[in-house]
A = this chain, B = another copy of it.
Amino acid sequence: MMEAEFIAALRRLPLHEGAQGLSDDVARLGDLVITTDTMIAGVHFLPDDPPGDVAWKLVAVNLSDLAAKGAEPVGILLNYPLSDTGWDRAFLAGLNACLSALGCPLLGGDTVGLPEGAARVLTVTAFGRADAVPARSGAKAGDRLWVTGTIGDAGAGLKAAQRGDGPDALIAAYRRPRPRLAEGRTLAPLAHAMMDVSDGLLIDGWRMAAASGLALTIALDRVPLSTTYRSYAGDDVLAAATAGDDHQLLCALPPEVAPTSIATCIGSFAVGKGLVLTQSGEVVALPPRLGFEHRA
């Protein structure tokens, strides 16, 4: 079953009001913001990725969802498949490094025995606390679209890791993403809508616009690319804007707000629907794939 069909079916089950109609990346319970992400070897990470990096990424992708709601991390649960001792030890070392670096303690979890030959499936559930929690769906016509940091580094890092030819900075962006927790706390009280860029800038921007019932124009020439990205991948902004794993924050801000020290303005929302791309003011065609979509 496709993800969209499955989620539509889930919406017909008894839902908690904190589920927010399953329209966001987080659930809410009082002032708690809750998110969960599962990673599978061969899908979300390479089977030969260093286990410590897998641990880091698993925690970081969850904390990135908290960052997108302006939340302060409280703790995580870990669901872990026990396997060979060397892998488990290296995973624990990376987990320790990540929890210490990001100031997020372990709350609990579950361990299971991994059957011979089975793919590793790992889950983290993260808890944060927040006052102002911007939804994915709150953008208003006239809002500008802003994104933190640079786009495409992780996607290029994945290619670099596969080819074994890449700059360390790009591979680190793929393997050890830094959730934008401080930026999220700064932007959350200002933002009409916010989410993290996990499946690709274009698809996630499109999702924010669709959830908000608006049209979105993105100026490709304003999408921030790092110097390292440009020297490795050239000026291929479409590749950067459709690659996953950026874990930057995407937010809709009213026109009078301009947090230029932590983000870049790359587009605007208007009445209507759909996504329009421009380059130097001219409309350009959408690529066939806007980003990463989960499917069976």
- With A99-B13, A110-B38 as known contacts, state yes or no: A89 contacts B125, CB within 8 Å: no
Provide the residues of chain B in CB contact with A82, threshold 8 Å.
1-3, 6, 294-296
Question: CB distance A99 to B14 under 8 Å?
Answer: yes
**Partner-contacting stretch, out of A21-29, A178-186, A255-263:** A21-29
Copies of this chain per assembly: 2
- With A19-B75, A106-B14 as known contacts, state yes or no: A7 contacts B111, CB within 8 Å: yes
Question: CB distance B121 to A81 under 8 Å?
Answer: yes
Choose one: B29, B36, B75, B96; the contact of A110 (CB below 8 Å). B36
- Would you call A264 an interface residue if the criterion is a C-beta within 8 Å of the partner chain's C-beta atoms? no
Closest to A80 in B: B6
Q: How large is the interface on A (under 10, 10 to 19, 20 to 34, 35 or more residues)?
A: 35 or more
- Would you call A209 an interface residue if the criterion is a C-beta within 8 Å of the partner chain's C-beta atoms? no
Q: How far is the CA of A18 from the CA of B106 in the complex (A)?
A: 9
Choose one: B27, B32, B40; the contact of A118 (CB below 8 Å). B40
A22, A74, A81, A83, most chain B CB atoms within 10 A? A81
Can you give 9 contacting A-B residue pairs, CB < 8 Å? Answer: A6-B88, A13-B92, A14-B105, A18-B75, A30-B30, A36-B108, A36-B123, A38-B123, A79-B123
Listed in ascending order, the chain A residues whose CB lies under 8 Å from chain B are 1-3, 6-7, 9-10, 12-16, 18-19, 22, 26-27, 29-30, 32, 34-40, 42-44, 74-75, 77-85, 88-89, 92, 95-96, 99-100, 104-115, 118-119, 121, 123, 125, 127, 294-296
**Known A1-B85, A3-B113, A16-B106; further 9 A-B contacts with Cβ < 8 A:** A1-B89, A3-B111, A13-B96, A14-B105, A19-B75, A19-B107, A19-B108, A43-B115, A121-B121
